[in-house]
A and B are shown apart, each in its own frame.
Chain A
Amino acid sequence: MIWDTIFAPFAEFAFMRRALLGCLAIAVGSTPVGVFLMLRRMSLTGDAMAHAILPGAAVGFLISGLSLGAMTIGGLVAGMIVALGSGLVSRMTALREDASLAAFYLISLAVGVLIVSTRGSNVDLMHVLFGTVLALDNAALVLLCSIASLSVLTIALLFRPLVLECADPQFLRSVSGLSAITHFVFLSLVVVNLVAGFHALGTLMAVGIMILPAAAARFWAAAIGSLILVAALIAIIASVSGLLLSYHYSLPSGPAIILAAGIIYLLSVFFGSVGGIVTQALPRRHIET
């Protein structure tokens, strides 16, 4: 029973093993980025950036079909234009970064949907929006694993400046010139991980595997290191559960994975040991003064 339910789909079908490997790579690469996005109160920035890469991916898709390289480059270019453009506008004008980002990503999203609608089909649009995790080939897996490795390595290298940039940016600016570089590299990591994510989960769902595990982990861990580890673990559990749900009940795999992460998030909100609703309501021991 357990074998048939949990292990057999992966043991018997190569496409399931590929999907699992792809999701694990995305989980490991994206969740540290998601944790820092959440701690910097930029969770919705991830969502905006996910929409922003749509036109680039769509152009790549329409020019070369399911070409990994064309869609990746298109997504990266579109994402970087929106990240840099909105950052420049907010620094050179009175407009705040959230408004500037919203303007850029809405323009980008409109362009993307327009391109796909006028030049492609509804199937194309669904492909770009929701991904094809069950159709990952070797090249896609190499790309996802490379991006995950690059992302983890970069976060490890920039860990201290990233922490200070979140917690005490004035102090970082007073001791180091790394503040602007850290911000730019971090935004680049967001874009790169979203591009990795859209190959498997689509542009709309890619941000889910980045943010939901991070938000859920906040209810289980109190230190930054354990937050990242718990978030990655939640992302992995959600990936496996989502793929199995998709396999057994013939559900679309991307939404199934994100829904699994969403269920873990809701359970964490109620039962999380760090500030969960039920945990807070229970009588707790305290130190005698």
Chain B
Amino acid sequence: MGALAFKDLTLGYDSLPAVHHLDTEIEAGSLTAIVGPNGAGKSTLLKGITGALSPSEGRVTLAGLTRNDIGYLPQQADIDRSFPMSVIDLVAMGLWREIGAFGWLGRAQRDRVRAAIAAVGLTGFERRPIGSLSGGQMQRALFARLLLQDSQLVLLDEPFTAIDMRTMSDLLGVVRAWHDEGRTVIAVLHDHEIVHAHFPQTLILARELVAHGPTAQVLTSENNARARAMCEACASMPHICGKSAA
């Protein structure tokens, strides 16, 4: 059964589609990597799934899930690290669905926040401003926030970019644990070695769907070359889409 389905999905900014007529399904409980060249629409697709970006055509169907069941890790570049916020405050935002915009954090919830911080190896950093963290420490803090979100569908946008091997190994352990618990995990990744080693399913995107299936069959040099060619062709020769409604 599909956890989410893309039906003729087109997402974009103004008249420029970043994801173009995508039709495929992602299985519930699967661990899927989304790969593709820069500008292939990978991050845009995640924003479409969260609802932050509305489709210009088609739709995203969440089978039995609501927006509240989605945990989303944005790229670090989207976060203002200069904002005066401590690690514990950042991680506590993972309880948004319990406390909402106006609720208080109880003692039990504070304990859960500290447990999540400990689970990603950041004990002792609770009061540190997020601006003082390294890239890897920040990513650990964001994973702790995701742990608290306790989501059935986890979306990760370039989770292992610019972090050291030890941090990556620890965070891959968290991802595997989510998969073992039956959650659906989708990660945008650039490192094909990591995809081959840890992600059973792969979706290759080049604005349009290039291939989707078991990683060993899909993540081939032919498909990667095809994805690059499709992105370059679209960038050099933009044209009006024949499938568009208007």
Contacts and interface: CB of A to CB of B under 8 A. Distances in A.
A50 to B, nearest CB: 25
B97 interface: yes
A94 B14 CA distance: 8
Contacts of B51: 173-174
Contacts of A164: 93
Nearest to A226: B84
A160 B14 contact: no
Given A39-B84, A158-B101, A223-B86, A170 B14 contact: no
A281 interface: no
Given A163-B85, A174-B70, A169 B78 contact: yes
A223 B84 contact: yes
A175 interface: yes
Most buried by A among B79, B96, B130: B96
B80 A168 contact: yes
A174 B84 contact: no
Given A39-B83, A164-B93, A171 B72 contact: yes
Interface in B156-183: none
A167 B101 contact: no
B154 to A, nearest CB: 11
A223 B86 CA distance: 8
A178 interface: yes
Interface in A92-135: 94
A175 B70 CA distance: 8
Contacts of B80: 39, 166-168
Interface string B59-77: 0000000011010101000
17 contacts: A157-B101, A157-B102, A160-B101, A163-B89, A166-B83, A167-B83, A168-B80, A170-B47, A170-B52, A170-B74, A171-B72, A174-B52, A174-B72, A174-B74, A176-B96, A222-B84, A223-B84
A161 interface: yes
B109 interface: no
A174 B50 CA distance: 5
B191 to A, nearest CB: 22
B84 A173 contact: no
Interface in A161-200: 161, 163-164, 166-171, 173-176, 178
B93 to A, nearest CB: 6
Nearest to B74: A170
Contacts of A224: 83-85
A158 B84 CA distance: 17
Contacts of B39: none
Contacts of A223: 84-86, 129
Interface in A35-73: 39
B84 A171 contact: no
Contacts of B50: 173-174
A175 B80 CA distance: 18
User: Which of A170, A171, A178 is packed against the most chain B CB atoms within 10 Å?
Assistant: A171
Nearest to A163: B85
A163 B85 CA distance: 9
Nearest to A173: B52
Contact of B96 (A39, A170, A175): A175
Interface string B90-109: 10010011001110000000
Interface in A203-250: 221-224, 227
A176 B72 CA distance: 12
B143 to A, nearest CB: 13
Contacts of A39: 80, 83-84
Interface in B41-63: 47, 50-52
A44 B78 CA distance: 22
Nearest to B127: A223
B232 to A, nearest CB: 25
Interface string B15-51: 0000000000000000000000000000000010011
A168 B130 CA distance: 12
Nearest to A227: B84
Contacts of B129: 222-223
B80, B84, B86 — most chain A CB neighbours (10 Å):
B84
Contacts of B101: 157-158, 160-161, 176, 178
